[in-house]
């Protein structure tokens, strides 16, 4: 139960980090998550979560790398293959060798194998962190494509190097020739296994569809389970599970190339599901690090063999060498440049941009946290806490560096205030055309669709504007009911007692709601009740007679309000709110006469009609030059998403 509660607390922290990032846009989300993890560790005390390193790789790496492989732009990957392979393989192995030797020289207490393991963990970059930072500055498309492709490949190469270094430390033996041969065979075996199993999954799903089975839930569940199954099979066979899930993800993405309604719905469901899973897993890793940092700091502080004053110098020194190697590598290999003949200033600027954008993130952290607790002889892993602390320090340093220096090498994105005027006008045109198709037979279904469009318009409007208009319209409808009730009472068309009772209730509501005009409201209320009581004749009524009089009065008031609403100036009041009030009062008027249930088939027909009208209106706006081609694509994509949502519902 404690583990379950801890998981819930950490997931809550991940959710809170996403909320806080909106209020703290200048701070990277991983930094917020680490801080929340530290705060969470205070009340937890010793109740931290110790996960088996192998299980840690399975839970976090398998789905994250599978999703990276599936979402990678294959064309850009192939187009920039030279630069990507240079950075993700060549630079990774150079980093492991040079940085590993430097770490051992800097901290002799860390053995060579452990130093190489830390260097391998620090080698991969994090495309997710780069993407988050790129939301603030304009990173050129080619640079982003190379960084994303580099992250995908160096995740695999870095993790494979990490596993070999840890294996050498655990077993105590290492042969470069043997390791190189094993690396090649295990890597090729892992890639082949991932491709085969992913193809088998595609064939299985296609066979089920041919049998007439279109179960979105089952297909999505199989997709989520696939990376875990592939990783476990790869580990059992003895090939590399990391490369297996990456290759499986790349092959899996081709299953969505065939366009039909069912695949479009599944693709939309897949993207939404994986976005939640990946954000949660990435967040959990950083929150988990935060929960363990106080314990790690305590262990390091109590270790007499470590110079406490040198800890941060170690982190800065390792970070400096890591980025210096990257800078020199990129400066030497110029195949990343769009213009090979660019001047020196432009070259240096792009080189700095590539260097600073190479932040470390989830892969580095998962690798460090997956270090084993004991070696093969049963001895404790040497300086495990120190390695995790250094890895966390390098991650935080690179994140901070990128966070505050990227704007120096890339132009800052302008914050554009969303103007939804055109979108609102377009949707209002659709509503106007839909209302022409409204009949007595489809009134219920048409009102449901119109209400949906009104809701979409409300979502594009300022909340204050909608709230103020709605409040004013509510006050008007109550004034109209009060006015009509007074007329019916004085014309002796309604029972005096029933009418006076409603007038008093409405008068009190108006007095409370219109505090800004309380004097005018109070005078109006007194005027309505200024007639002498002797002008009225109150006749005692039975319960049934009183109920009928109330129903009659309510019906008369509803008719009067509908009449007044139709007379309102649409330019002065929000037409969507008027429409909403009209539908509510018209529904109240028709309730006693006939109560019709919503016909799902008729509702689907009405939705299809609305979609067709909206699609034609979008095309009309584009042809008239009101919207650009890019805006037209956005509007159409939004409409497709809504249509897919309705298809899933029906």
- Taking the chain, what is the end-to-end CA distance rounded to the nearest angstrom? 39
* Closest alpha carbon to 294 in 385, 387, 398: 385
Indicate whether 187 and 320 sit together in one domain: yes
Query: What is the arithmetic mean of pLDDT over 153-172?
Result: 73
Q: How confident is the model at residue 99 (pLDDT cuts 50, 70, 90)?
A: very high
Most confident listed range (96-105, 255-264, 347-356, 360-369): 96-105
Indicate whether 318 and 249 sit together in one domain: yes
> What one-character DSSP code corresponds to residue 514?
T
Indicate whether 405 and 473 sit together in one domain: no
pLDDT at residue 200, rounded to an integer: 92
Residue 193 has pLDDT above 70, yes or no: yes
pLDDT at residue 256, rounded to an integer: 66
Residue 390 has pLDDT above 80, yes or no: yes
Encoding tokens for residue 446?
Answer: 């048409």
Q: Report how far Cα 638 is from the mean position of its chain's Cα atoms.
A: 16
Indicate whether 192 and 330 sit together in one domain: yes
- Domain-located, residue 604: no
Q: Which of 195-204, 287-296, 548-557, 582-591 has the lowest mean pLDDT?
A: 582-591
pLDDT at residue 177, rounded to an integer: 66
Query: What is the arithmetic mean of pLDDT over 622-643?
Result: 82
Indicate whether 121 and 212 sit together in one domain: yes
Domain around 498: 466-531+541-573
Kindly report, residue by residue over 528-538, the tens digit of the pLDDT: 555 444 455 56
- 420-423 contacts at long range (C-beta below 8 A, 24 or more positions apart): 420/460, 420/461, 422/621, 422/626, 422/627, 422/631, 423/460, 423/635
Helix axes 384-409, 362-369, angle to 10 degrees: 170
- Domain-located, residue 124: yes
Residue 187 has pLDDT above 60, yes or no: yes
Collapse the DSSP code of 137 into the 3-class scheme (helix H, G, I; strand E, B; otherwise coil) and give the result.
strand
* Closest alpha carbon to 120 in 322, 278, 281, 293: 322
Q: How confident is the model at residue 293 (pLDDT cuts 50, 70, 90)?
A: confident
Q: Which of 74-88, 441-455, 465-479 has the lowest mean pLDDT?
A: 465-479
Indicate whether 487 and 393 sit together in one domain: no
pLDDT at residue 592, rounded to an integer: 41
pLDDT at residue 533, rounded to an integer: 45
Indicate whether 162 and 61 sit together in one domain: yes
Most confident listed range (187-201, 476-490, 545-559): 187-201
Tell me whether residue 247 is exposed, middle or buried, using C-beta atoms within 10 angstroms of its C-beta: 0 to 12, 13 to 18, 19 or more.
Answer: buried
Query: What is the arithmetic mean of pLDDT over 178-188?
Result: 72
> What one-character DSSP code corresponds to residue 416?
P
Indicate whether 402 and 504 sit together in one domain: no
- Domain-located, residue 161: yes
Indicate whether 405 and 507 sit together in one domain: no
pLDDT at residue 85, rounded to an integer: 82
pLDDT at residue 649, rounded to an integer: 58
* 9 backbone φψ class: left, alpha, beta (φ>0; ψ -120 to 50): alpha
Number of independent structural domains in the chain: 2
- Domain-located, residue 477: yes
Encoding tokens for residue 88?
Answer: 């993700």
- Domain-located, residue 21: no
CATH number at residue 233: 1.20.1530
Helices (H) and strands (E) in the chain, counts: 27, 0
pLDDT at residue 576, rounded to an integer: 67
Q: Which residues pair with 380 in a beta bridge?
A: 374
Q: Which of 272-286, 328-342, 430-444, 556-570 has the lowest mean pLDDT?
A: 328-342
- 371-378 contacts at long range (C-beta below 8 A, 24 or more positions apart): 371/53, 371/117, 371/166, 372/53, 372/166, 372/170, 373/53, 375/169, 375/170, 375/172, 376/170, 376/171, 376/172, 377/172
Query: What is the arithmetic mean of pLDDT over 314-341?
Result: 81
Query: What is the arithmetic mean of pLDDT over 570-592?
Result: 67
CB neighbours of residue 21 within 10 Å: 18
Q: How confident is the model at residue 1 (pLDDT cuts 50, 70, 90)?
A: very low
Token pair 């004013």 in the structure block, residue? 472
| Per-residue exposure over 373-387, b if at least 16 CB sit within 10 Å of its own CB, e if not | eebeeeeebebbbbb
- Domain-located, residue 142: yes
> CA–CA separation, 407 vs 126, rounded Å?
19
Indicate whether 399 and 547 sit together in one domain: no
Q: Which of 202-211, 423-432, 503-512 has the lowest mean pLDDT?
A: 503-512
What distances in angstroms separate CA 372 from CA 50, 156, 175, 379, one per listed residue?
Answer: 11, 19, 21, 11
Q: How confident is the model at residue 228 (pLDDT cuts 50, 70, 90)?
A: very high
What values do phi and psi take at 53, rounded to 5?
Answer: -55, -40
Q: Which of 150-164, 174-188, 521-535 has the lowest mean pLDDT?
A: 521-535
What distances in angstroms separate CA 472 from CA 468, 469, 478, 523, 572, one per listed residue?
Answer: 6, 5, 10, 19, 11
Q: Which of 97-101, 234-238, 597-601 has the lowest mean pLDDT?
A: 597-601
How high does pLDDT run on average in the chain?
77
- Domain-located, residue 22: no
Residue 416 has pLDDT above 50, yes or no: no
What values do phi and psi take at 455, rounded to 5?
Answer: -60, -40
In this structure, the dihedral spanned by the alpha carbons of residues 508, 511, 512 and 513, taken in order and rounded to 10 degrees, is: 120
Q: Which of 44-53, 295-304, 374-383, 488-497 has the lowest mean pLDDT?
A: 44-53
Kindly report, residue by residue over 123-139, the tens digit of the pLDDT: 888 766 666 655 556 66
- Domain-located, residue 594: no
pLDDT at residue 257, rounded to an integer: 63
Q: Report how far Cα 34 is from the mean position of its chain's Cα atoms.
A: 19
Residue 474 has pLDDT above 60, yes or no: yes
Indicate whether 216 and 329 sit together in one domain: yes
Q: How confident is the model at residue 544 (pLDDT cuts 50, 70, 90)?
A: confident
CB neighbours of residue 569 within 10 Å: 8
* 582 backbone φψ class: left, alpha, beta (φ>0; ψ -120 to 50): alpha
CB neighbours of residue 11 within 10 Å: 14
Token pair 């270090």 in the structure block, residue? 371
């Amino acid at each position: 139960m404690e583990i379950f509660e801890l998981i819930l607390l950490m997931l809550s922290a991940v959710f809170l980090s996403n909320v806080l990032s909106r209020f703290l846009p200048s701070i990277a989300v991983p930094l917020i998550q680490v801080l929340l993890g530290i705060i969470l560790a205070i009340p937890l005390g010793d109740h931290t979560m110790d996960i088996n390193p192998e299980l840690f790789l399975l839970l976090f790496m398998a789905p994250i790398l599978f999703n990276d492989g599936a979402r990678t732009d294959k064309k850009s990957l192939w187009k920039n293959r030279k630069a990507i392979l240079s950075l993700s393989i060549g630079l990774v192995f150079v980093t492991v060798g040079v940085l590993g030797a430097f770490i051992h020289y800097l901290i002799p207490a860390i053995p060579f194998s452990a130093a190489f393991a830390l260097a391998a963990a620090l080698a991969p970059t994090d495309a997710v962190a780069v993407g988050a930072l790129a939301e603030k500055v304009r990173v050129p498309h080619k640079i982003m494509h190379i960084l994303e492709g580099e992250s995908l490949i160096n995740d695999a190469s870095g993790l494979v190097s990490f596993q070999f270094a840890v294996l050498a430390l655990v077993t105590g033996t290492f042969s470069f020739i043997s390791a190189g041969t094993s690396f090649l065979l295990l890597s090729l075996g892992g890639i082949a296994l991932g491709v085969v199993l992913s193809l088998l999954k595609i064939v299985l799903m296609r066979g089920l569809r041919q049998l007439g089975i279109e179960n979105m839930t089952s297909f999505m569940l199989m997709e989520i389970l696939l990376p875990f199954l592939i990783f476990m099979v790869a580990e059992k066979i003895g090939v590399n599970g990391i490369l297996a899930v990456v290759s499986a993800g790349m092959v899996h993405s081709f299953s969505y190339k065939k366009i039909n309604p069912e695949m479009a719905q599944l693709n939309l469901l897949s993207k939404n599901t994986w976005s939640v899973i990946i954000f949660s897993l990435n967040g959990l890793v950083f929150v988990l690090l935060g929960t363990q940092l106080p314990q790690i700091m305590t262990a390091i502080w109590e270790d007499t063999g470590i110079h406490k004053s040198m800890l941060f110098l170690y982190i800065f020194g390792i970070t400096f060498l890591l980025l210096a190697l990257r800078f020199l590598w990129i400066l030497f290999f110029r195949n990343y440049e769009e213009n090979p003949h660019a001047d020196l200033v432009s070259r240096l600027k792009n080189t700095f941009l590539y260097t600073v954008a190479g932040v470390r993130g989830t892969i580095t952290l998962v690798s460090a946290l997956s270090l084993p607790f004991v070696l093969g002889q049963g001895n404790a892993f040497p300086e495990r806490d120190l390695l995790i602390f250094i890895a966390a320090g390098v991650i935080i340093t690179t994140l901070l560096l990128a966070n505050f220096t990227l704007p120096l090498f890339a132009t800052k994105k302008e914050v554009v205030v969303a103007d939804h005027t055109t979108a609102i006008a377009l949707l209002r045109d659709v509503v106007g055309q839909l209302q022409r198709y409204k009949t007595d037979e489809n009134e219920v279904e048409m009102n449901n669709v119109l209400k949906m469009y009104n809701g979409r318009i409300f979502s594009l409007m300022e909340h204050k504007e909608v709230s103020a208009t709605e409040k004013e319209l509510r006050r008007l409808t109550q004034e109209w009911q009060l006015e009509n009730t007074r007329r019916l009472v004085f014309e002796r068309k309604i029972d005096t007692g029933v009418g006076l009772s409603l007038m008093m209730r409405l008068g009190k509501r108006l007095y409370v709601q219109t505090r800004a005009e309380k004097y005018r409201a109070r005078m109006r209320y007194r005027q309505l009740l200024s007639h002498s009581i002797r002008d009225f004749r109150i006749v005692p009524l039975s319960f049934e007679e009183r109920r009928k009089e109330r129903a009659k009065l309510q019906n008369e008031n509803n008719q009067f309000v509908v009449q007044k609403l139709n007379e309102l100036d649409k330019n002065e009041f929000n037409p969507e709110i008027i429409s909403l009030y009209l539908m509510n009062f018209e529904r109240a008027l028709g309730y006693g006469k006939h109560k019709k249930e919503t016909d799902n088939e008729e509702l689907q027909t009405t939705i299809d009609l609305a979609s067709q009208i909206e699609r034609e209106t979008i095309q009309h706006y584009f042809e008239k030059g009101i919207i650009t081609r890019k805006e037209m694509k956005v509007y159409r994509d939004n409409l497709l998403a809504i249509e897919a949502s309705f298809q899933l519902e029906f």
